[in-house]
Chain A
Amino acid sequence: MPTSQPRHERIVQRFHSIVPTVDFCSLRLVRTQSQYLSVRQNILQPVSTSDDEGAMVTVIDNGGLGYAATSDLSETGLRHAAEQARSWARRSAGRSVVDFSSVAFPRPSGAYASPVQLTWDSLPLADKIDLLRATSEQLKTDERIVDWEASLWHTDSETLFVTADGGQVQQNFSYLVPMMSATANAGTETQTRTFAGRGYCRQGGMELLDQCAFRDAAPQIAAEALELLLAPNCPTGTMDVLLAPDQMILQIHESIGHPLELDRILGDERNYAGTSFVTPDMFGTYRYGSELLNITFDPTRPEEFASYAFDDDGQPARREYLIREGVLVRGLGSTTSQARLGLPGVANARATSWNRPPIDRMANLNLEPGQSRFTDMIAAIERGVYMQTNVSWSIDDSRNKFQFGCEWGRLIENGQLTTVVKNPNYRGVSATFWRSLKMVGASETLEVLGSPYCGKGEPNQVIRVGHASPPCIFVNVEVFGGE
């Protein structure tokens, strides 16, 4: 997306001309342009593009906070939005969870852009369709493959954040989500294998396709779908599990990311997304996992899906340890949550788009690599299951009792990978599971992944998150298969 500098300057001028006399006022402009291309069963599905733009005006006055979102970016439209926001600020003054006038919001200045080597438009539409068609054809390797699909989802997003007192931040993001899947069927058995779910989502350009070997992946995905058709069910019992990075990201997301969000701990999410087993007194002392567990909030890794220089409150973002050598040290909370709780947090006030207010989101949440080589990890397991690619996720509202399932499993017996098994599932309790972390893969095993779909908030918001992780071993886990 070309930078809209003159247009931005006009909107900034309009904003400054309509700012009401209040304690604080900001404008957050978001323009998002997307294209989705998909070839299913070798047939191009309807091409879909979208161009969405609007702005949110936020007002703080006399302790109350109000917002108004509009796609009318004229002076009249912004003035009307500011009036609505001020009206809400007045109505909520003295009735809010915190005196918002007491929260020190930043006056930011800066810019950010995703690192893009080959832009989306550098490859003509016809060539992108040809790539997907070729990938689709590679997925249909057998009559038992009954459905197959390859897709690319590209998004450019441009944000402008301006405060009435002179702050200004512009950030340009380029996202790419490559995906493919193959579904195999025989009778009442159906198995699907995918390209790490949608895990290979990153910031950047078309060069990402080579980084994640998109062009070469189809034959193996089809072969593994067929392999699963004939595979026995995952055994039941207590054993070790070796989780691949594309399952680790889900484990991190659900049982570390969400419980550490300070707005959950504050209770904001209880009516919908839930609360947390983590309480404020745990920070600094609570043993979350074994000494091998190191978790960082890292918006600085350039290719990761949720990298940025400033959050949606304009707070500068930097890498922080949340869990260090197994001990909980910091939560995932933005400026407002930090002020409400009196605890340190991170720059993670984020909104899905212009039409939703920022809330605490996990952005990039990574499990730092350890020392183990992959072959040594296999060799260390006497009886266990190696699981790849999340397919089922469920966890209680306190983010404690979880049950997750994977697409593909393989037994590990006496230090060797053996039989492929289908429907591998495992369950446990967050508060004890991470303490059973026994081995963490070294840096060469780490994969940078993420998800386009993290749901939270009232009103609802689905946001992008990034996760990087090596494979990990957990001991004495409750494992089971299908019916």
Chain B
Amino acid sequence: MQEYFCRLADRLTSLLQGKEIYTCTFDAEESDFVRFNHSAVRQAGTVTQRSLSVNLIDGQRHTYGGISLSGDWEEDCAHLAALVTNLRGQLPYLPEDPHLLYATEVRSSEHTGENRLPEDTGAVVASILEAGRGRDLVGIYAAGGIHDGFANSFGQRNWFSSYSYNFDWSFYHQGDKAVKCAYAGLVWNPIEFAHKVATAAKQLAVLAQPARTIAPGRYRVYLAPAALADIVGLLSWGGFGLKDHRTKQTVLLKMTEEGARLHPSITIQENIADGVGTNFQEAGFIKPDRVTLIADGAFRDCLVSPRSAKEYDVPTNGASGGEMPDALDVASGMLPESEVLRQLDTGIYINNVWYLNYSDRTACRITGMTRFATLWVENGVIQAPLNVMRFDETLYRMLGENLAGLTAERELILDSSTYGGRSTASSRLPGAVVNDFTFTL
């Protein structure tokens, strides 16, 4: 695949005329997807896809075009030539772009993951079905190779490939009462999987208790890492990008305009070095190992795409066009995970939250729902599952004045999303105990 991409890049170079240059990105995957419901197969199949996106540049004029690739050399070359001709035809009608910026220093790189996935996907499916025997298992198994490339006419070549699986599943008790689980990695280990299944089955027993309904109000809560990941992850949507900051649309406006702070224990980084995805972006810049977004509760740095860098006359830090984190990292705290229930005392243990959105962007107020194994705790002992509750709370209270502690242990969460293609985003977070967390409905 890498060789094919490099040949295409070389062919692209040969198609240039005059002072034209290009940048291009390559995305491909061969993925097996097996969807389960009621411990049976709902949909099973394989998706093989490859695409190339080209930015053809002539001076300050440029235009993007993307094509799918068939894998047939002659056909793809013909398609590529047609694309370049089409893009070249557009250039005279386009004005010069004052915000165009691309890497000119050649920094090639290569990460080629070894394929250690099970040769027989059918055996994995069989073991999943076996785990669901006598239970209500629902979820998705996704596995295969993911390939990303970058090339430009200066000769830079970057390549990333990995072979991974992500089994994202739930055991349901009944109705909306379920335990949510994830098993993702590079090597499918039946013993590790069996351990996860056993743990989930044990948690499922708690959900068999009669569910409790609480009244709207303020409660002490524990946000497990997956729940905190959703809350902090929402900040990726308008929180950290330079463009959002300079146009006053950031949801962290109070931090930058009024000096509002989160709890001193909150430090958030874009931690590419410890992530599981690429360290290059679509204009050819290499991402730094780490960008500190929030340090000790105070806003520190933005994610700066090349385009924003040019627009606002600051250096880029290799962010992609969307200026969103790909490897979110929240620093750990001091609370041992084994102490969480004792620290929580009486309150709500929230394993997952759901459908978050801003209810007041300026105040960074976030609404969402509890979901999947949210439990009522009394005197440090889990009592019963909780019927779903809506929360509506600002980040400044949640991770500021009302934060009681972060766990010392953190969890690595691999993004299971598959929009367009399988994601290589990740996050690493602790859990958080929060006082006076507001539930509204």
Contact = CB atoms under 8 A, between A and B. Distances in A.
A and B co-occur in one complex: yes
Interface of A: 43-44, 46-54, 56, 64-74, 77, 81, 84-85, 88, 91-92, 95-97, 124-126, 129, 146-147, 183, 185, 187-190, 192, 266-268, 270-272, 274-275, 355-357, 392-398, 401, 403, 405, 423, 425, 427-429, 455, 458-462, 478, 481-483
A398 B388 contact: yes
A459 B354 contact: no
Contacts of A88: 44-46
Contacts of A274: 176, 354
Select the residue from B70, B371, B417 with max chain A CB neighbours within 10 A. Answer: B70
A423 B86 CA distance: 45
A270 B170 contact: yes
B83 interface: yes
Given A48-B64, A188-B362, A126 B49 contact: no
B356 A394 contact: yes
17 contacts: A46-B97, A46-B100, A50-B53, A50-B66, A69-B47, A88-B46, A95-B125, A97-B41, A271-B140, A355-B47, A392-B367, A397-B176, A405-B357, A405-B358, A458-B418, A478-B441, A482-B363
A463 to B, nearest CB: 11
B220 interface: no
Interface in B33-84: 33, 35, 37-38, 40-51, 53, 55, 62-72, 75, 79, 83
B247 A183 contact: yes
B386 interface: no
B359 interface: yes
Contacts of A266: 37
A77 B359 contact: no
B390 A396 contact: yes
Contact of A403 (B64, B254, B392): B392
A478 B392 CA distance: 14
Interface in B72-113: 72, 75, 79, 83, 86-87, 90, 93-95, 97-100
Given A68-B47, A425-B359, 6 more contacts: A92-B41, A129-B94, A190-B248, A190-B361, A272-B140, A458-B35
Given A188-B362, A458-B168, A67 B43 contact: yes
B440 A47 contact: no
B390 A53 contact: no
Contacts of A481: 360
B369 A85 contact: no
B175 interface: yes
A395 B37 contact: no
A81 B360 CA distance: 48
Contacts of A461: 419
Interface in B406-436: 417-419, 422
B71 A355 contact: no
B396 to A, nearest CB: 9
A70 B48 contact: yes
Contacts of B440: 403, 427
A96 B45 CA distance: 13
A47 B248 contact: no
B233 to A, nearest CB: 15
B262 interface: no
* Residue picked from B38, B90, B97, B247, most chain A C-beta under 10 Å: B247
B418 A460 contact: yes
Given A91-B122, A146-B247, A71 B33 contact: no
Nearest to B66: A50
A167 B361 CA distance: 51
B119 interface: no
A73 B37 contact: no
A294 B13 CA distance: 59
A47 to B, nearest CB: 5
Nearest to A50: B66
A64 B254 CA distance: 56
A396 B354 contact: yes
Contacts of A425: 359-360
Contacts of B257: 187-188
Contact of A49 (B66, B99, B249, B419): B66
B349 interface: no
Given A271-B168, A405-B359, A427-B390, A394 B368 contact: yes
A455 to B, nearest CB: 8
Contacts, number: 260
A184 B169 CA distance: 43
A95 B124 CA distance: 14
Given A96-B41, A271-B140, A483-B363, A71 B48 contact: yes
A432 to B, nearest CB: 12
Contact of A69 (B48, B51, B392): B48
A44 B248 contact: no
B72 A72 contact: yes
A188 B63 contact: no
Nearest to A95: B41
Max chain B Cβ within 10 angstroms of own Cβ: one of A71, A72, A92, A125: A71
Contacts of A405: 357-360
A462 B360 CA distance: 26
Given A51-B67, A91-B122, A427-B441, A69 B49 contact: yes
A427 B45 CA distance: 40
A459 B423 CA distance: 11
Given A85-B45, A397-B354, A190 B362 contact: yes
B300 interface: no
The list of the 3 closest CB pairs from A to B, nearest first, reads: A67-B45, A483-B363, A458-B140
Nearest to B48: A70
Contacts of A126: 93
B72 A91 contact: no
A424 B70 CA distance: 49
Interface in B340-395: 354-363, 365, 367-369, 371, 388, 390, 392, 394
Nearest to A48: B64
Nearest to A74: B72
Contacts of A96: 40-42
Contact of B248 (A125, A185, A427, A462): A185
Contacts of B304: none
Contact of B249 (A147, A393, A459): A147
B51 A52 contact: yes
B207 interface: no
B138 A403 contact: no
A64 B248 CA distance: 54
B9 interface: no
B138 A268 contact: yes
Interface in B6-44: 31, 33, 35, 37-38, 40-44
A268 B390 contact: no
B66 A52 contact: yes
A189 B253 CA distance: 9
Contacts of A394: 355-357, 359, 367-369, 390
B172 interface: yes
A68 B360 contact: no
Contact of A47 (B64, B71, B441): B64
